[in-house]
Structure 1
Amino acid sequence: TVNGQSNPADLSTEQLQQCTSLQGLQALAAGSTAANVSSNATAAAAQLWIWGFPLLTMSQAAQSATKPGGVNTLLNVPTLVTPQNQAAFNIVAPNCDTLYTTSWLDLTAGPQMLGAPNTNGRYYVMELLDFYTNVFGNPGAPTTGTAASKWVVLPPAYKRSALPRALWNLRMYRSNTTGVWLLGRTYVANQSDLAAAREVQQQYSLSPAMPPPGNATGNSTALTHLQRAVTAANALLQQAVWQLGSVSNSTPAFAAIMGLAKAFPPSLGTAGPLALAPSLGLSRARGFNQTRLSVRQQAVLQAGSKLGQACITSYASSGDIGVSQASGWSYTTKAGTYGSDYILRAAVALVGVGANEPNITVYGANRRDADMQALNGNQTYSVAFASVPPAEYFSSLTLYSAQTNMLMSNAYSNRSVLNFNATPGLQWNKDGSIDVYLSSKPPGPAGSKQLANWLPAGENEQYWAALRLYGPSYEVVNGSYPLPPIVRVQP
């Protein structure tokens, strides 16, 4: 979810614009770099950090794939995300509307075939991302319908004619990298719908599109190309003391970027900043082994990562991500396909890695009330929606901690999401509008509209609100649909 970042860096609008080019970064570095560190070199390291940051977030997300048998296998998670179980999902700002189905595909051995049953109109989508977080396919309800279907996921440069002729009529999705994240979502209206959603989920399938070579050993304990790369990268990130958005020692983190860039070469036209690596003492050819660095070179990398991360964090909070409304709501209309927009790609990876394309899902975010004050669990707010937010499938509201970008626990209620289309017991106004209430404590007595329409926040905690629209209307995508402000309710 873009723009949910809680700690915006102190960069002005002009400085944010400078973050988008090497020349601009040089100007920023000139005013912030220590005297013994080259500002031009710092700027180069900052641009390389911005470029490579999504690779690091993907590697961390793929940690679960490093176990034997952890690739090219569907993992159906049969429970909805809650504050109590969310750590196991390894997803930033997870949704509470769908069951997750996930897999890490290693296409070095050839294409994979993905299948889904007839879901009888139930919404689902199988988002496909390359290792640079570009979305290259969304088989499922929004694009291919809900009838039983099969699709083929192709590695780079793979010739369709190499497939068995029987598969030629299937829809093909070609990845730019051999490493692919499949992130599936199956709609759950409410708890009473959970069993039916699970039944659909259990019928998804994934298998090699081609039979294994005749000399294949079938030894599932041997690590694949993706597993080796992710294992090496995550070991380096542990040395770097990686936390999403910061590192204590950037040298191992840059080594991870080089190794991942070697393991998963970028597509033509999106590798520009890699040309800066040699000037920093780095080499993609050496992969994860970047040990020939002087003390001064390491100081440059540390300064560059700090500047680059300040740009990413600030851009996620205040950058030109698409739509920004006076009510405080903003959302990206550019997610999913980034080209050479490296700062946007990094910002999305920071606050919502795996974000889908806007024609599939729009992720609105708001972290301030109508008085431009940060949302706080100690206050009570109301949000007056004129109608169900316009989406072909459904729309929902969720709250996340400003510190962690994760769900918050509440002592009074276990409700983590308000689904405008399906949450039981909502009280609508006669004109079709609805007033939603946000607070850490019950905003009204039993039977009241305030309690019925309450979305709980964490006590004594700053947070932000996420509005998801699945199959958003044209007016939402182009920004002309007005979203309501979050208004503090006076005690």
Structure 2
Amino acid sequence: MRYWISALALGASLGSAHAATLDQQQAKALAQEAYVFAYATVEHDKVLSAIAAKLPFNRLYSEPRLLGPQDNKVVSPNNDTFYSRALLDLRAEPQVLQVPVVKGRYYSFQLVDMRTDNLDYIGTRATGDQAGRYLIVGPDWKGKVPSGFNAVIRSPSRLVFLLGRTEVKGEADQKDAAQLMSGYVLQSLSSVTGSVAPAALQPLQLPTYQDTKQGPAQALFSTFNALAPLHQWSTREQKKLERFAAIGVAPGAVFQAPADLSEAITQGAEAGREQVRTASSQISVEQQGWLRSPTNVGKFGDDDLTRAAVAWRYIYANDPVEAVYPMALHDAQGQLLDGRHAYRLHFAAGQLPPVSAFWSLTLYDGKTQLLAANPIQRYALGDRSPGLQYDADGGLTLILQPDAPAQHSNWLPTPEGPFNLLLRLYLPKGGVLDGSYRLPTIARVEP
């Protein structure tokens, strides 16, 4: 780690000489661009640093409980699955994930790099329901892959976030789901093969997360500089970083804005944050209140703005083939969803979500993007919810309002003030993926 930082910092010092050629407007524009580029990596640090503070690297932690309003480390968490998580430090050697036979239940392990791209998946869709062993390799490992592995997953990041989801089919199913999770095992390659472990490296020290949505926007650059050496940047990304070095944004460097450009860089960072915030509410073309998931979610490429917007609104979104997340901020008339009003969300007959796994509708507080506390502790409704009452024609109407209605089983309580909705479609079928599926209508009910 120390070698990477010192070497890259040298490059940063050379690049910063170009600051003399920037005028105020150019510096502001460059800072705005750098903010958008860096945002997802820095927002990722919220989870990385929180986990690292409680859990050793390369240790899998499976938590057999459904998340609630008190869980504030990840925006827009689901209330459908148990989570497993681990931070894979791949600097010294690869890690191995072993999974058991999983039949009749959806599960997945999503591997996320430092750019918040999804590297690959292990689970129901990607690898099937049989037991398997999977080798996860960082960019510095040059060893020969031993026999006995179902697949090799290669990462450009030296630190990988492993995020597992195990379906829970209701209250009575939680014990069985928890038992299954005990079969997930994470080990180092040397432990699996019985070989000599490589020499221990200096422990990783992740920067303390600073809220990206509050405080000085340019604080993001300090965190990015500290995290950036953990990723092997592509040639195209390196060219961007070479330009950003002129304003002090460089892997391994201590962020220091050139004195004569400091105010312009401050303004540019603030403009970048506003650009990301705005984009997070305009992720796609809105259709009757719904914003469909971008088609490049999880594999963003050079689309830095969509990458940042997704990280702002619902970080760690799945690849579309794994799950699709249409989001609603407005009703069908274009009015902001607000708990002061009552709504009816209606799936027309024949238009229940076409999925191979399951679907759910989750409600979030519009200000925090966290689950909204309510007296009955109900945060989502979906095809596994007990007692749902379907319409006479086979459609489904869900009730969104603060007070309990007569049809209690179809009620999703709303908070005071604005809220938004995520419709999660796990293993979506063709109509969802090609955009032809008709999303449900959200109609305000007048008193």
Fold shared per TM-score above 0.5? yes
Give the corresponding residue for 1:14. Answer: none
Give the corresponding residue for 1:105. Answer: 88
User: Residue 81 of structure 1: SS of its match in structure 2?
Assistant: coil
Spell out, residue by residue over 1:70-100, the C-alpha distance to the aligned partner (whole angstroms, 9 max, x if none).
21100111110112x313xx21110000000
Cα separation, 1, equivalents of 2:310 and 2:360: 20
Cα separation, 2, equivalents of 1:214 and 1:79: 37
* 2:247 matches 1:262: no
* 2:438 matches 1:482: yes
What is the CA distance between 1:298 and its match in structure 2? 2.5
Give the corresponding residue for 1:289. Answer: 254
Q: Which AA in structure 1 matches 2:414?
A: A
Which residue, 270, 273, 286 being the options, matches 2:240? 273
User: Residue 153 of structure 1: SS of its match in structure 2?
Assistant: strand
Change (3 A) 1:278 1:131: closer
What is the CA distance between 1:312 and its match in structure 2? 0.8
Q: Which AA in structure 2 matches 1:340?
A: D
* 2:282 matches 1:318: yes
Q: Is the 8 A contact 1:97 1:187 kept in 2?
A: yes
Give the corresponding residue for 1:403. Answer: 367
What is the CA distance between 1:302 and its match in structure 2? 1.1
Give the corresponding residue for 1:417. Answer: 380
Change (3 A) 1:455 1:272: farther
Give the corresponding residue for 1:438. Answer: 400
Q: Is the 8 A contact 1:64 1:70 kept in 2?
A: no
In the TM superposition, 1:153-302 aligns within 5 A as 153-156=136-139, 158-159=141-142, 162-164=144-146, 166-167=147-148, 169-211=149-191, 214=196, 224=203, 227-228=204-205, 230=206, 233-234=207-208, 242-248=210-216, 250=218, 252-284=219-251, 287-291=252-256, 293-302=257-266
Q: What TM-score do you get using the length of structure 1 for normalisation?
A: 0.81
What is the CA distance between 1:176 and its match in structure 2? 1.2
* 2:52 matches 1:66: yes
Structure 1 unaligned blocks of 5 or more: 1-35
Q: Is the 8 A contact 1:47 1:273 kept in 2?
A: no
Q: Is the 8 A contact 2:114 2:230 kept in 1?
A: no
Give the corresponding residue for 1:429. Answer: 391
Q: Is the 8 A contact 2:93 2:198 kept in 1?
A: no
Cα separation, 2, equivalents of 1:140 and 1:363: 19
Q: What TM-score do you get using the length of structure 2 for normalisation?
A: 0.89
Change (3 A) 1:268 1:249: closer
Q: Which AA in structure 1 matches 2:118?
A: V
Q: Is the 8 A contact 2:388 2:409 kept in 1?
A: yes
Q: Which AA in structure 2 matches 1:72?
A: N
In the TM superposition, 1:351-430 aligns within 5 A as 351-386=313-348, 387-411=351-375, 413-419=376-382, 421-430=383-392
- Residue identity over aligned pairs, in percent, reads 29
Q: Is the 8 A contact 1:54 1:345 kept in 2?
A: yes
Give the corresponding residue for 1:466. Answer: 422
Give the corresponding residue for 1:123. Answer: 106
Change (3 A) 1:400 1:98: same
Give the corresponding residue for 1:53. Answer: 39
Spell out, residue by residue over 1:44-74, the C-alpha distance to the aligned partner (whole angstroms, 9 max, x if none).
1111111111111111211134348521100
| Equivalences, count | 422
Cα separation, 1, equivalents of 2:122 and 2:230: 26
Q: Is the 8 A contact 1:391 1:469 kept in 2?
A: yes
* 2:388 matches 1:456: no
What is the CA distance between 1:253 and its match in structure 2? 2.7
Structure 2 unaligned blocks of 5 or more: 1-21
Change (3 A) 1:470 1:249: closer
Cα separation, 2, equivalents of 1:65 and 1:140: 23
Give the corresponding residue for 1:308. Answer: 272
Question: After TM superposition, which residue ranges in structure 1, 4 or more long, deviate above 6 angstroms?
Answer: none
Give the corresponding residue for 1:39. Answer: 25
Give the corresponding residue for 2:71. Answer: 86
Q: Is the 8 A contact 2:62 2:85 kept in 1?
A: yes
Q: Is the 8 A contact 1:37 1:299 kept in 2?
A: no
Q: Which AA in structure 1 matches 2:364?
A: Y
Q: Is the 8 A contact 2:217 2:273 kept in 1?
A: no
RMSD between aligned residues: 2.2
Deviates more, 1:186-195 or 1:378-387: 378-387
Give the corresponding residue for 1:141. Answer: 124
User: Residue 382 of structure 1: SS of its match in structure 2?
Assistant: strand
In the TM superposition, 1:326-345 aligns within 5 A as 326-345=288-307
Cα separation, 1, equivalents of 2:322 and 2:260: 46
Change (3 A) 1:129 1:215: closer
User: Residue 270 of structure 1: SS of its match in structure 2?
Assistant: helix
Change (3 A) 1:282 1:404: closer
Q: Is the 8 A contact 1:383 1:486 kept in 2?
A: yes
